[in-house]
Amino acid sequence: MTVLNVDPSPCRKRVKKYVKNACSVKTVKKRLPIIEWLPKYKSEYIIQDIIAGITVGLTAIPQGIAYALIAGLPPEHGLYASLTSGVVYVFFGSCYNVTVGPTAILAAMTARYVSNYSIDFAILAAFLSGVMILVMGVLHLGFLVEFISMPVISGFTTAAALQIAASQLKSLFGTSGSSGNYFSESVYNFAINIKTVKLWEPVLGFSTVGMLLLLRKMGQGCNRTDGIIKQTRWFMSLSRNAIVVIIGMIITYILKVTWDTEPLAIIGDIGSGLPEFTWPPFSTTVRNETLSFTDMLSVLGPGSIALPLVAILESVAIAKAFAEGGRIDATQEMIALGLCNIIGSFGQSMPITGSFTRTALNHVSGVVTPAGGVTKVLLIIVALTYLTSTFYYIPKASLAGLIITAMFSMIDYKILGRLWRNSKRELVVLSITMIVCLFSGLEYGMIAGIIIEAVVLLYNVSRPTVTPNVIKTEKGDIMIVPLTESVSYCAAEHVRKAVLKAASFISDTVIIIDGTNLNNMDFTVASNLMLVVKDLEKKSKLILLLNFNLYLKNLCVDIDPSSHNKFVYAENVLDLPEAFPKSV
Amino acid sequence: MTVLNVDPSPCRKRVKKYVKNACSVKTVKKRLPIIEWLPKYKSEYIIQDIIAGITVGLTAIPQGIAYALIAGLPPEHGLYASLTSGVVYVFFGSCYNVTVGPTAILAAMTARYVSNYSIDFAILAAFLSGVMILVMGVLHLGFLVEFISMPVISGFTTAAALQIAASQLKSLFGTSGSSGNYFSESVYNFAINIKTVKLWEPVLGFSTVGMLLLLRKMGQGCNRTDGIIKQTRWFMSLSRNAIVVIIGMIITYILKVTWDTEPLAIIGDIGSGLPEFTWPPFSTTVRNETLSFTDMLSVLGPGSIALPLVAILESVAIAKAFAEGGRIDATQEMIALGLCNIIGSFGQSMPITGSFTRTALNHVSGVVTPAGGVTKVLLIIVALTYLTSTFYYIPKASLAGLIITAMFSMIDYKILGRLWRNSKRELVVLSITMIVCLFSGLEYGMIAGIIIEAVVLLYNVSRPTVTPNVIKTEKGDIMIVPLTESVSYCAAEHVRKAVLKAASFISDTVIIIDGTNLNNMDFTVASNLMLVVKDLEKKSKLILLLNFNLYLKNLCVDIDPSSHNKFVYAENVLDLPEAFPKSV
């Protein structure tokens, strides 16, 4: 039997490796993955990629329009976002089944700036988020999202779903008044306008919801590789978003043509044609006032940190879900995502990230390479060029139903029960995050959650378990104070007090501070420990430091040279009293 | 041999105990310690307390004046601070040798507000600091200062000493121009006015420094209980601050009377008499502009957090140094300190805290009870009532020499070498703290240091050691991944990756995640672990979770019920292959 150590390559080696790698052909291929997969492309992939592209495209178009409306933008900006990011991701994306584009959460986080200021803020937010994501990717700072715990993510997501759903109440019920920036505001605005509820809007809206649920159910148990009937059910189920919107559109069109009435609110004019390629707005005019770049930055405020964080978070979650234990090049994904946003902002795109629903769709549709995105892009180009006059008739109530249905699936109900049963503390964190999100805005809730978790974590680190044991031997009592693997500066005082308290319990003992497990302590801890040794010696107790490693011993001796004879080494603490007879 | 567990009383018990205690006679005595010690006062204590009071008073008066000048206040405010806090501490103080009053660092931190706005800000700062300290004391939040590591304290203290010394260059050399708010500004102002250096100011200033060093040396080896000569040397050494100031005062007086010249800058008029007792300034007028309470708060900004933190820090450091391993009632000390500041602010006092030098003086002078403070207070009353016209002649250069000498001893040179040899990372933290303090102000440097340490700590917590081992047995390979005592949400992804990486090294193995040491993991970690189990099963590896405690097992099973048969228990990992034959 041999024991073999597998892992850790030391830091210096990694740096060398990194520098060496940065200039190799392999790195160029890594950074521009299309060079890698395109030459290996096989003709049999085409059909599968096209099918996947069509299903994704048929969802991307209604979702793009819907999410633009969530953000308060003209519908074409959602399509622009899917278009440019789709093109960029074909070149830079490393995960074949990930689809990028506008998402409901990013749209909701952008909405406030658009409704309070102007469209320009959504485009600038895309540019800035892109820059942040790119920089974080290059500097390998993606790990920062690991500081967002699952309760915080869950509270945030639930709040986002509720906020988005609440913002659609107006369209779903056809009420008048404005919709509101937060959940609480939207609900309040809906409540005070409740008397203006129309008849046909909720009928269409709820029918849409019902239809979507039916269509989803219809596809269950069906597969891409089944017979023709099941295959049709499967395809209809996957294209359900497009289907309900087309049905809504047809109904409004017929009403218009046959009775010349427009009883339903429709989305109206959509800017036709491809987006112009121009600089993102680095200054803007809002209500006759010119805002400079720094003014705009201060308006975006915490959003300029929260948006890229959420974008990374969403794409990391997707990569984790679809990698199935395989390795993901997180750096490359962040670079791709950053470039999608930056280049997108030149094409008037709203902020984008990986889309969970469309990636899942891509996956079940059997996509093989990132080329699947090409079909999606072509579909969107067709839509923008020829179909905008048709889209004119899309009823807002259909989109509201579509959005609200999507929000159902975003809420994770199970986590509430699990936390209730296992960790009420984390349930509190989830609740606080959610409440702040609902009442002050999503970005503040997320930041509050991160801070609360970090503070709790720091507090826990500052209170390591120190459980002194007394061993009664024939020669007298020994008190053993075992230290944990790592003791940080903030735990120094806690450890000091614990040792002094332990020492005060029984007089006339040998006290052994057991550093067998201790790997790491900083200067503050070492200084405090030397203080304890001195204080206890004044009370004429014999104090010994057991099995401290050489580095830690040197640190202590450097602080207090007289401590050098306190360090003892033994496999079993019971061997000690023989070696160090009680001299006190 | 029996093993006996000493420590932990669970949280609920402690709360009960706390509530019960809050209403007892013991608590009243604890909160008003004078009730405890005064009835037990013995006549033989009087002499010792008086001697200690005189030596401390003889230092408190020149230091009070000097520190008021550091803060840019009229000299009497320093004396007011010593006076009111001295009275309050006699009633509420629980450490017999601690002396409170103005300190150089607090003075330096107040200086900016006084020079940029007005005196009122110093008094309001005292009031607010008092409230903060009192609240933190009552809520047991004193542990917050444990998050200030020694490198940060050291960098901060050194920067404070340098800043204070630099602010005295003007008085020491008699240069014109203003002194400056930060170290960098003071040095710059001194440099551009270097041509205005006078002759007699530096002569007196440096003589003062020399005299102080000589007097200190003179007292070495002498003791309060020695013969009359040694006793005199001891007393002169302890009163050296008063002696040099009196000598300077006599010189200026003689020059004035005999030649009718005033070649040296003197402190001039001092407000005579005791301070009026009135409300602290909750609004003020600066340059004809009225500032409300909230305006004043926003001016104080980070200072309103940093000042009380530093005040607590100084008094904690003192208590630790003079408690000699005894227990300190930290809550009571904070309550006393808070009340000293609050009540002080009604008597136009500047912010106060425990003074290291005067506490040391009190200690070596043989103080027995807090009554020692009474003599000090009487001396200050005499000074304020009868001596202010004498103090008129105190030369600024003498005070500058006195201050600069005190600053020498505040800098801890040794820590630099120790950190260089043992922990360069902490040396960097110290340096950054110091640089930010020197160039942007003390409060910003301290906050920067705290944040850097917290971020590094969080990063370390997110990267626990995960070192997988492969054990080769006759039946095949087993890979063991041991987890540390505690894994937090931010380490979830790291652990996930480590396990997946370990699994990818050798195909066809049993993977055992060893939770023997694991005490604690949160929901995020458990979820990630269940994800790993699923991912590895898809790659048809046998994965087992060894020795997870019941709570953690329940958490995992709640997240993924199918995992319940993965949990195994064994003392030795080698017993496992028999029990779980390789079924993959």
pLDDT in tens, B145-164: 888 888 988 898 888 889 88
Check A558 against B418: CB less than 8 A apart: yes
Give the pLDDT of residue B392: 80
DSSP-assigned letters across all residues of B517-566: S--EE-HHHHHHHHHHHHHHHHTT-EEEEES--HHHHHHHHHH-GGGGGG
Find chain A residues with C-beta within 8 A of B468's C-beta: 6-7
Length of chain A: 584
Q: How far is B522 from chain A (nearest CA, A)?
A: 8
What is the bridge-based pairing of β-strands A567-568 and A542-546? Answer: parallel
Check A467 against B6: CB less than 8 A apart: yes
* Distance of alpha carbon A456 from the chain centroid: 20
Give the pLDDT of residue B7: 42
Instruction: Kindly state the average pLDDT of the residues B479-495.
Output: 86
Q: How far is A324 from chain B (nearest CA, A)?
A: 6
* Distance of alpha carbon A373 from the chain centroid: 23
- Angle in degrees, CA B29, B33, B36, rounded to 5: 65
> Could you tell me the pLDDT band of residue B3, with boundaries at 50, 70 and 90?
very low
Check B423 against A555: CB less than 8 A apart: yes
Those residues with Cβ within 8 angstroms of residue B396's Cβ, 6 or more apart along the chain or in another chain: B69, B171, B201, B264, B265, B266, B267
Residue A453: closest C-alpha in chain B: B489
Residue B144: closest C-alpha in chain A: A490
Average pLDDT value for chain B: 83
Give the pLDDT of residue A581: 46
Give the pLDDT of residue A521: 87
Check B502 against A468: CB less than 8 A apart: no
Residue B148: closest C-alpha in chain A: A490
Nearest to A470 among B6, B489, B501 (CB): B6
Give the pLDDT of residue B517: 85
Q: How far is B320 from chain A (nearest CA, A)?
A: 9
Percent of chain B at pLDDT above 70?
92
Residue B491: closest C-alpha in chain A: A146
Check B472 against A2: CB less than 8 A apart: yes
Find chain B residues with C-beta within 8 A of A7's C-beta: 466-468, 498, 501-502
What is the bridge-based pairing of β-strands B469-473 and A353-354? Answer: unpaired
Give the pLDDT of residue A14: 62
* Paired tokens of A291: 């805002």
**Of B223, B219, B221, residue with least CA distance to B365:** B223
* Paired tokens of A203: 């009928």
pLDDT in tens, chain A (584 residues): 334 444 444 556 666 666 666 667 777 777 888 888 888 888 878 888 888 888 788 788 888 888 898 888 888 899 899 999 998 998 888 888 888 999 888 998 898 888 888 888 899 999 999 999 999 888 888 888 888 888 988 898 888 888 888 888 888 888 887 777 788 888 888 888 888 888 888 888 899 999 989 988 888 887 777 788 888 888 888 888 888 888 988 888 888 888 777 777 777 777 777 888 888 888 788 888 888 888 888 888 888 888 898 888 888 778 777 766 566 777 888 899 999 999 999 989 999 998 877 887 787 777 888 888 888 888 888 888 888 878 788 888 888 888 888 888 888 888 898 888 888 899 999 999 999 988 888 888 888 999 999 999 999 888 888 888 888 777 677 888 888 888 888 888 888 888 888 887 766 678 888 888 888 888 888 988 888 888 888 777 788 888 898 889 988 998 888 888 888 888 877 776 544 544 43
Q: How far is B6 from chain A (nearest CA, A)?
A: 6
Instruction: Kindly state the average pLDDT of the residues B287-302.
Output: 83
Give the pLDDT of residue B268: 76
| Maximum alpha-carbon separation in chain A | 107
What is the bridge-based pairing of β-strands B476-482 and B469-473? Answer: antiparallel
Check A522 against B327: CB less than 8 A apart: no
Gap between the Cα atoms of A582 and A279, Å rounded: 80
Q: How far is A435 from chain B (nearest CA, A)?
A: 20
Q: Which amino acid is at A292?
A: S
Gap between the Cα atoms of B410 and B67, Å rounded: 15
Complex ipTM, two decimals? Answer: 0.79
Q: How many interchain CB pairs under 8 A, A with B? A: 189
Q: Which residue has the tokens 């491809």?
A: A274
pLDDT tens-digit readout, A51-75: 888 878 878 888 888 889 888 888 8
Helix pair A303-323, A442-461: axis angle to 10 deg: 70
* Paired tokens of A7: 């892992």
Q: Which amino acid is at B482?
A: P
Find chain B residues with C-beta within 8 A of A475's C-beta: none
Q: Output the CA torsion A317→A322→A325→A326 (10° steps).
A: -110
DSSP-assigned letters across all residues of A7-49: -PPPHHHHHHHHHHHTTSHHHHHHHSTHHHHSTT--TTHHHHH
Check A146 against B490: CB less than 8 A apart: yes
Those residues with Cβ within 8 angstroms of residue A252's Cβ, 6 or more apart along the chain or in another chain: A262, A264, A266, A393, A394, A395
Q: How far is A419 from chain B (nearest CA, A)?
A: 8
Instruction: Kindly state the average pLDDT of the residues B544-551.
Output: 88
Residue B493: closest C-alpha in chain A: A146
Task: Tell me the sheet residues that pair with B544.
Answer: B512
> Could you tell me the pLDDT band of residue B88, with boundaries at 50, 70 and 90?
very high
Query: Please, is B466 exposed, middle or buried when counting C-beta atoms within 10 Å of its C-beta (0-12, 13-18, 19+)?
Result: buried
Element housing A542 (H / E): strand A542-546
- Angle in degrees, CA B110, B115, B118, rounded to 5: 85
Q: Which residue has the tokens 């200054």?
A: A283
Q: Which amino acid is at A548?
A: F
- Kindly state the DSSP code that residue A516 receives in the 8-state scheme: S
Give the pLDDT of residue B472: 78
Check A2 against B490: CB less than 8 A apart: no
Query: Please, is B9 exposed, middle or buried when counting C-beta atoms within 10 Å of its C-beta (0-12, 13-18, 19+)?
Result: exposed
**Of A435, A147, A459, A145, residue with least CA distance to B141:** A459
Gap between the Cα atoms of A67 and B447, Å rounded: 41
Gap between the Cα atoms of B447 and B444, Å rounded: 5
What topology is assigned to B469-579 in CATH?
Answer: Transcription Regulator spoIIAA (3.30.750)
Is residue B102 within 8 A of residue B81, CB to CB? The reply is: yes
Is residue B336 within 8 A of residue B89, CB to CB? The reply is: yes
Residue B153: closest C-alpha in chain A: A524
Gap between the Cα atoms of B95 and B368, Å rounded: 10
Check A457 against B519: CB less than 8 A apart: no
**Of B403, B405, B340, residue with least CA distance to B65:** B403
pLDDT tens-digit readout, B250-274: 888 888 888 777 777 777 777 777 8
Nearest to A468 among B2, B7, B320 (CB): B7
Is residue A262 within 8 A of residue A403, CB to CB? The reply is: no
Give the pLDDT of residue B31: 81
Check B502 against A2: CB less than 8 A apart: no
Those residues with Cβ within 8 angstroms of residue A212's Cβ, 6 or more apart along the chain or in another chain: A240, A241, A244, A401, A402, A405
Mapping DSSP to helix (H, G, I), strand (E, B) and coil, where does residue B71 land?
coil
Instruction: Show me where the domains of chain B are located.
Output: 44-408, 469-579
Give the pLDDT of residue B298: 84
pLDDT exceeds cutoff 80 at B321: no
Specify whether the backbone of A286 is left (phi greater than 0), alpha (psi in -120 to 50) or beta. Answer: beta
Residue B484: closest C-alpha in chain A: A485
Give the pLDDT of residue B583: 43
* Paired tokens of B222: 């002498």
Check B522 against A320: CB less than 8 A apart: no
Gap between the Cα atoms of A424 and B469, Å rounded: 35
- Angle in degrees, CA B317, B320, B325, rounded to 5: 170
- Angle in degrees, CA B31, B34, B38, rounded to 5: 150
Find chain B residues with C-beta within 8 A of A492's C-beta: 146
- Kindly state the DSSP code that residue A275 receives in the 8-state scheme: P
Query: Please, is A232 exposed, middle or buried when counting C-beta atoms within 10 Å of its C-beta (0-12, 13-18, 19+)?
Result: middle
Check B473 against A1: CB less than 8 A apart: yes
Check A465 against B149: CB less than 8 A apart: no
Gap between the Cα atoms of B70 and B64, Å rounded: 10
* Paired tokens of A157: 């997501």
Q: How far is B1 from chain A (nearest CA, A)?
A: 5
